[in-house]
Amino acid sequence: MFTEYINHYTSLRENYKKLLNMINSYDEIIIMRHLRPDPDAIGSQLALKEILKCVFPNKKVTALGESEASLEFLGKMDTATSVEQPLLIVVDTAGVGRIDGDISVGDKVVKIDHHPNHEPYGDINIVETGVSSTSELIFLLASAWGFDNDYINDVSARLLFSGIVGDTGRFLFNNTSTLTLKVASELRKFDFDAAQDMTEMNKQSLDQFKFKGYLINNFEMTDKGVLHVWVPRSVLSDYELTSNEASMHVNIYREIDEAKIWFMAVEEADNIRVRVRSKETVINDVAESFGGGGHPLASGVSIASYEELQLLIEALDSKL
Ligand code: AMP
């Protein structure tokens, strides 16, 4: 059913057999993903672990990285143990600097991702920007291996579905393709409570909810439509929020008709985390020129100073 899609995605088509051979030759496999994980990072990481555990019950497969409390309902990370020469698979992570872990522990490294591939750090790189999410890509990979019927189970289906839902904004963003919906439809045949997971994914504390008031009352917007909001650490402490909890509201501005591009700049201990979003104008080139990266319409940058923020506003404004 997915053969035409597998054939269409070159790095998948050219590497899925090689990857299976590589997996076959290791007894221990570690799966990592990016810092500050989102549902796609955790979903693709833990789903791949579950699939490999089902296919290869005798291999030791571990998922490593800092735990993220708001996503623990999807599953937990393993504790790192010292492993000799494992195969390391990194999912959903464009560059080495964003990996939540040390890739030098891997004898060989595999990259599986859907962000632009500026840093092909793997010995094998399966990178496809045309899919909605790494979770969608893991499903295609399992399908290419012929494992989709027998080795995807309720656990991995739930994880992949959650990852796809997360990265497509519940199937509303323009990365939602026919394939995305076909994969989601396959996954939905399994037994898991998707509605309950959506509730979990979107729930927020009273402080987080009240913080929306700050965001609504404190943004600025250029004449052309670059909306931006500055969240200093003092505001985080007023609302008793972590940077991650505050940053999750970035899409609150999507509904404003006049906002073409928008970003949230959240002051952290040693830098400023900027999440940038756009409705139509490509922004990842601007993010990259500031040392960040991401997708054409959803990017991120880590910047050093408030002054640099003004340059970012100007650069984004010049794209409109
Ligand atoms: P986020 O706003 O954290 O959801 O990130 C949106 C996209 O930009 C994701 O694909 C991230 O991988 C990417 N991204 C976020 N921050 C950075 C950064 N500092 N450097 C490179 N890419 C980033």
Q: Which helix (H) or strand (E) holds 65?
A: none
- Domain of 189, CATH number, reads 3.90.1640.10
Quote the ligand 1 centre to 93 CA distance (angstroms): 9
- Domain containing 261 equals 207-317
- The candidate with the shortest Cα–Cα distance to 137, out of 90, 75, 101, is 90
Query: H helices of the chain, where?
Result: 3-8, 10-24, 39-55, 134-144, 154-167, 178-187, 194-202, 206-218, 233-238, 243-247, 284-289, 306-317
Domain boundary among 184, 200, 216: 200
The closest-lying atom of ligand 1 relative to the alpha carbon of residue 284 is: 8
Determine the atom of ligand 1 nearest the C-alpha atom of 302.
19
- Quick one: pLDDT band at residue 223, thresholds 50, 70, 90? very high
Buried b / exposed e over 164-189, threshold 16 CB at 10 Å, is bbbbbeeeebebbeebbeebbebbee
81 — pLDDT class (breaks 50, 70, 90): confident
Q: How far is the CA of 284 from the centre of ligand 1 (A)?
A: 9
pTM for this predicted structure: 0.91
Give the separation between CA 307 and CA 297, rounded to whole angstroms. Answer: 24
The per-residue pLDDT of the chain, averaged, comes to 96
Predicted confidence (pLDDT) per residue in 189-211, tens digit: 999 999 999 999 988 899 999 99
Summarised one tens digit per residue, pLDDT across range 163-189 is: 999 999 999 999 999 999 999 999 999
pLDDT at position 187: 97
Q: Which atom of ligand 1 is nearest to the CA of 36?
A: 3
CB proximity list for 179: less than 8 A, separation 6 or greater: 2, 5, 131, 136
Q: Does residue 18 sit in the same domain as residue 161?
A: yes
Partnered with residue 303 across adjacent β-strands are: 272
Ligand 1: list residues with CB < 6 Å.
34, 94, 98, 115, 275, 292-295, 298-302
What is the distance in A from the centroid of ligand 1 to the CA of 182? 27
Residues 87 and 195 in one domain: yes
301 Cα–ligand 1 center, Å: 7
Give the dihedral of Cα atoms 296, 300, 301, 306; nearest 10 deg: 110
Average of per-residue pLDDT across 6-25: 98
Give pLDDT tens digits for 255-283.
Answer: 999 999 999 999 999 999 999 999 999 99
Nearest CA to ligand 1 atom 17: 300
Q: Are 152 and 49 in contact (CB under 8 A)?
A: no
Cα–Cα distance measured from residue 171 to residue 280, given in angstroms and rounded to the nearest whole number: 17
Q: Is the pLDDT of residue 32 over 80?
A: yes
Q: Which of 200, 221, 241 is the last residue of a domain?
A: 200
pLDDT of residue 148: 72
